[in-house]
Structure 1
Amino acid sequence: MTCHVHLHKPSSVTCHCCGKKLCDDCVERFSASLCEQCFLLQSTSYARRLRTTFFISLFSSTGVFVIAQLLMQDSTVWLSLWLAYMAGGVPIGWRLIDMWRSLAPSDEYDGIHPFARSRLIKLLASVLIGVIMTPMATYIGIKNLIVLQRLSKEHQNAATASAIESGKQRWIRRLVEVRRIL
């Protein structure tokens, strides 16, 4: 069994998503045991989820700030800013709760009362978690987006270089064929 990219190297691992064979060089290139196509698909979907969460957070905090200013005209701006910050933390807290619940074993939640699973409790928990975790989640999200953007640029440069190289090889083959004919 050989690597699907490096045909001369033996494979050591298979891709977790599609099952393609990978050699040690391919495994070292990415942190997870994923082939290049699966890694790019997962990274683009991750980046899309992050951007969606941040835009929802931005729009909800802006909306709550504007509504709070319209309804409470006599109050200070600080209260409106605090309410906007809490509303902006809801999507981040909601996403973190979903992530934590997906990592936990399913037996843990079997004994919980159905009311505890309701959306209201999850909303209140996401407000509390969002208030605490929003700065850190924003920093980590921006850092991950920068890394993913750098990886996609490297992939595009590598793809362009390989396309140029294969184009050169085709032209060389054609020149050799033309010289043989002449």
Structure 2
Amino acid sequence: MAYSAMKGGAKGIRANSVEDIKEIKKNVELPIIGIIKSVYKGSDVFITPTLKEIDLLYREGVNIIALDATNRIRPDGKLISEVFPTIREKYSDQLFMADCSTYEEAKEAYALGFDCLGTTLSGYTDYTRGTSLPDMELIERLVKDFPIPIIAEGGIWTPEQLKRVFELGAYSAVVGTAITRPMDITKRFVDAIK
């Protein structure tokens, strides 16, 4: 899928797991936003939730490491504001993307020193469920208020939506399910004729 995306014109790949990233790097010469999804008991944070996952991605040499930057409790019982200063210090040469769900989380991530802000988790936290996706309002506010790259992500299903996020000033966008999940893609078409 990563190779097909590259051939189709993608300028970067967001990939989950070191195993997938290794294989992608063998076939694709594009920048990689790396994540590791790990579920830990007692925490809703699962996108690159601990230093263990960050260590693995750093050693693999991804261009950007994305991690959950919501205000939810992490598996170690701490908030992103408590752990990111240590992460930033340990990996001073690494670019980090903040996967946020709200404006306030993005504001805090910017203050903490993240290199780019993503709308990845808007609509996917308990307190943002029901948000219309893609979250155009959040994208527009972040672009207006923060001088670092804003990456539109979450719910981008159509070329028209993608065009709109760029019109709003997004630096780049991640299109996931609409490209990578054949079952969901097929279901959209079937639902349209029911």
TM-score past 0.5 threshold: no
Structure showing greater radius of gyration is 1
Larger % of strand: which?
2
More contact order relative to length (CA 8 Å, sep ≥ 6) = 1
Judging by fraction of residues, say which structure has more helix: 1
